[in-house]
Amino acid sequence: MSRILIIEDEVSIAELEKDYLELSGFEVELEEDGKKGLERALTDNFDLLILDLMLPGMDGFEICRKFRETKNIPIIMISAKKEDIDKIRGLGLGADDYMTKPFSPSEMVARVKAHLARYERLIGSSFPENEIIEIRGLKIDKTARRVWINGEEKNFTTKEFDLLTFLAQNPNHVFTKEELFSKIWDMESIGDIATVTVHIKKIREKIEFNTAKPLYIETIWGVGYRFKM
Ligand code: CA
C-alpha cells in the first residue's frame, strides 16, 4: 500500500484530500506545520508528498528545496494562487506537479496515481532497452550519439556525451565526482576528478538555458552531481 504525506494547514482541505485518497486505498498521514511536516517527510517512509505552499513554520518552497536534497519521491504542490504556481515552476525546485485550489479531489487522486505509477516505472528499470532518452526539452539518441535541446542539435565530444547519457540514464541518483570519473574514464586515462567538473561545465553550456540555475544537471555541494528528473 502506498503511503502519502499531506502537509496542509487548512484542516478541512487536508481532511478532504485524506478521505479521497483513503477511499482509493492509500495510507495517508497529515501534518499541519511546515517544519514538522518536513521532518516527518524526511524521517518517515512515504511514497508521495502533497505539499501546500503557504504553511506556518516553513513554506512549501523551502520544504520542497530541502526535501529534494535527499529524497526523490513525487511531490505535488498545492497553491491557492495561479501566480505562485508559475513562480514554483520558474524556481525549478523539483516538484513533479502543481494544482491550484480549489481543485477536484478526484482529479488529485488521478494525478497521485499517475505519479506513483511513473515513479515505480522509473525506479524499477534503468532503461536497458530504450535507445532514445527524452527528458523535458532534452533528447539523447544513444545509438546515433546525438543530442538535441528544444529541437536544436548540439555537438558533444565523446566523453561529454558519455557523461550526460550516464547521468540521464540514472536520474535523481547523486554521483560523486570520483564515481563519475571511474565510470566514464578508464582508470589508466590521464586526468582526475577536476576533469569531471570541466566536462559538466561544458555540458551545461550546451543544454542549460541558465548555467547558474541548471534544470538538468544539479550540483550537490560537497557530494557531486545528479540529473534532475
Ligand atoms: Ca496553507
- Give the pLDDT of residue 190: 64
Distance 50 CA to ligand 1 centre (A): 12
In this prediction the pTM is: 0.56
pLDDT single digits (tens) 35-83: 999 999 999 999 999 999 999 999 999 999 999 888 889 999 999 888 7
Distance 211 CA to ligand 1 centre (A): 33
Question: Which range (119-133, 160-174, 191-205) has the least confidence?
Answer: 119-133
Q: What string of H, E and C letters represents the secondary structure of the chain? A: CCEEEEECCCHHHHHHHHHHHHHCCCEEEEECCHHHHHHHHHHCCCCEEEEECCCCCCCHHHHHHHHHCCCCCCEEEEECCHHHHHHHHHHCCCCCEEEECCCCHHHHHHHHHHHHHHHHHHHHCCCCCCCEEEECCEEEECCCCEEEECCEEECCCHHHHHHHHHHHHCCCCCEEHHHHHHHHCCCCCCCCHHHHHHHHHHHHHHHCCCCCCCCCEEEECCCEEEECC
Distance 55 CA to ligand 1 centre (A): 5
Distance 34 CA to ligand 1 centre (A): 10
